[in-house]
């Protein structure tokens, strides 16, 4: 196996046992980026010189202090981040030409925690501008192509993130999820992606899309790595008033807990009209696997599902119309004419929903429905421990297939936006491939702060299957 294909766990063990150096590990990732990024367009910024310099310093430190791992659990491990995180002295664009030359003067909390843990930043990955999209086709810097078939989208808005992981350009990645932006591309690229409980991870220093929906989370090669990363980045942050003070468990310690007896809910609304046959077959097979491991299947109902897309596309554009008002050309250089079509569409939708005479009819009503959605999930969790559902109603679609039909693009998120509206966690895990060799993923949902349980079920499923081990033929 090439070094760039290693998981965090294997990379750390190899460094500790001096099987290879941090420079060798980092160079393997950089070589893969050099080899494949031109065709995939996963990375927008590559920190080639600085990352090798940091890797050299790590190797020198490890040569003199073997105990360095205790304080820096990711020491010498290269990673990448969706280009919405502020990274001091490293260009940050949010996929938009408005921030084409923006160099942040400070670090996002998530980034600071990772570099404090010893990880080294390879670069920043492509995304739909401002997080607006389900395919990365809305990036001002070009679409990211799916490593499994370059005629297809990688998903969005964190498409560059999952393409980078799937093609082994990086050891792990940090994405962001407002309505499915980690889980959808994770499903489309056959990687593991976690949308955390709202407030589990600090949003400080992340360029906001919709502040009450945004969630920062890991994208990884397996469930163990996702759990390991969350242990490091989760927790209360004084710089983010919405971050939770709840204790952060050692998620990896209980990964192997027996899942026998856990009740898995199947919402009937998620398995009806519009669900692709191949996706349903893959989910059905995953259900059989979990049943064979002792879980109990329970049919449940979430009646407010039908209102999810409408509610999301009132609340999210309303918040983004407010958040994007700051990009006025005075602070950041490029004026508002640099906004792309999708950003303009969402600004207009949001401004309209918040305007005098329409606020009560649209935004206020959407917030009331959001409460109903949250209540429906709470009721469902009274009869089951977790919920299983598809991530997307279809496998990945071709580049350009939905680009001219915004409504069809929005409907791609039909199974994911509800989770953000409810503020609960969701773990996306690979569960199969279509007959055309395109990835299919499932998501495991839980009550607020139940990430530990989601990891246990996801890990148990991984141990019984091989989907997460398959690699695209680049």
**82 flagged as catalytic:** yes
Which pLDDT score is estimated for 337? 84
**321 flagged as catalytic:** no
Query: Quick count: other Cβ atoms within 10 Å of Cβ 299?
Result: 11
CA distance 90 to 61: 24
Per-residue pLDDT tens digits of the chain, which is 474 residues long = 799 999 999 999 999 999 999 999 999 999 999 999 999 999 999 999 999 999 999 999 988 877 778 889 999 999 999 999 999 999 999 999 999 989 999 999 999 999 999 999 999 999 999 999 999 999 999 999 999 999 999 999 999 999 999 999 999 999 999 999 999 999 999 999 999 999 999 999 999 999 999 999 999 999 999 999 999 999 999 999 999 999 999 999 999 999 999 999 999 999 988 999 999 999 999 999 999 999 999 999 999 999 999 999 999 999 999 999 888 777 777 777 889 999 999 999 999 999 988 899 999 999 999 999 999 999 999 999 999 999 999 999 999 999 888 888 888 999 999 999 999 999 999 999 999 999 999 999 999 999 999 999 999 999 999 999 999 999
Which pLDDT score is estimated for 407? 82
Of 22, 157, 318, 426, the active-site residue reads 157
Of 166, 181, 215, 426, the active-site residue reads 181
**471 flagged as catalytic:** no
DSSP conformational letter for 427: E
**Going from the N-terminus, what domains does the chain have, and what CATH number goes with each?**
3-469 (3.90.1300.10)
With H, G, I as helix, E, B as strand and everything else as coil, classify residue 123: strand
Which pLDDT score is estimated for 281? 98
With H, G, I as helix, E, B as strand and everything else as coil, classify residue 51: helix
CB of 15 within 8 A of CB of 39? no
- Is cis: bond before 157, omega within 30 of 0? yes
H or E segment and range at residue 219: strand 215-220
Contacts of 23 (CB under 8 A, 6+ apart): 52, 55, 56, 59
Which pLDDT score is estimated for 332? 77
Of 12, 82, 145, 221, the active-site residue reads 82
Which pLDDT score is estimated for 408? 87
CA distance 21 to 60: 10
Which pLDDT score is estimated for 356? 85
Specify the residue for token string 């370059």: 150
């Amino acid at each position: 196996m090439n070094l760039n294909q290693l998981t965090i766990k294997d990379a750390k063990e190899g460094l500790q046992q001096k099987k290879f150096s941090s420079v060798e590990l980092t160079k393997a990732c950089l070589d893969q980026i050099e080899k494949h990024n031109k065709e995939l367009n996963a990375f927008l910024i590559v920190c080639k010189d600085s990352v090798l310099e940091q890797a050299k310093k790590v190797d020198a430190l490890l040569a003199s202090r073997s105990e360095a791992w205790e304080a820096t659990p990711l020491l010498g491990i290269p990673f990448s981040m969706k280009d919405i995180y502020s990274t001091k002295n490293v260009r940050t664009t949010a996929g938009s030409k408005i921030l084409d030359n923006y160099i942040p003067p400070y670090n996002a909390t998530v980034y600071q925690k990772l570099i404090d843990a010893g990880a080294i930043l390879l670069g920043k990955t492509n995304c739909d501008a401002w997080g607006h999209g389900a395919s990365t086709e809305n990036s001002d810097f070009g679409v990211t192509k799916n490593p499994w078939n370059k005629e297809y989208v990688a998903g969005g808005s964190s498409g560059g993130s999952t393409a980078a992981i799937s093609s082994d350009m990086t050891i792990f990645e940090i994405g962001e999820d407002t309505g499915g932006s980690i889980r959808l591309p994770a499903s489309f690229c056959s990687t593991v992606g976690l949308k955390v409980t709202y407030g589990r991870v600090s949003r400080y220093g992340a360029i906001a899309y919709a502040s009450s929906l945004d969630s920062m989370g890991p994208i990884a090669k397996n469930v163990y790595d996702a759990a390991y990363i969350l242990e490091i980045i989760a927790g209360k942050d004084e710089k983010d008033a919405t971050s939770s003070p709840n204790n952060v468990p050692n998620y990896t310690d209980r990964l192997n807990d027996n899942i026998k007896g856990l009740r898995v809910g199947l919402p009937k609304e998620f398995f009806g009209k519009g669900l692709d046959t191949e996706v349903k077959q893959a989910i059905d097979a995953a259900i059989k696997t979990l049943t064979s491991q002792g879980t109990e299947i329970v049919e449940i109902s979430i009646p407010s599902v039908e209102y999810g897309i409408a509610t999301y596309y009132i609340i999210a554009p309303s918040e983004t119309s407010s958040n994007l008002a700051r990009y006025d050309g005075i602070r950041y250089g490029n004026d508002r004419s640099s906004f792309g079509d999708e950003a303009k569409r969402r600004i207009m939708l949001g401004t309209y929903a918040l305007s005098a005479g329409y606020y009560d009819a649209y935004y206020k009503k959407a917030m009331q429905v959001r409460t109903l959605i949250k209540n429906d999930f709470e009721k469902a969790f009274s009869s089951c421990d977790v919920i299983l559902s598809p991530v997307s109603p279809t496998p990945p679609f071709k580049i350009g297939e939905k680009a001219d039909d915004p409504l069809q693009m929005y409907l791609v998120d039909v199974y994911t936006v509800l989770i953000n509206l409810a503020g609960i966690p969701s773990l996306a895990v690979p569960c199969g491939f279509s007959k055309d060799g395109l990835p299919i993923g499932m998501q495991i949902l839980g009550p607020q702060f139940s990430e530990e349980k989601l990891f246990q079920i996801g890990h148990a499923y991984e141990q019984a299957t091989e989907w997460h081990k398959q690699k695209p033929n680049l």
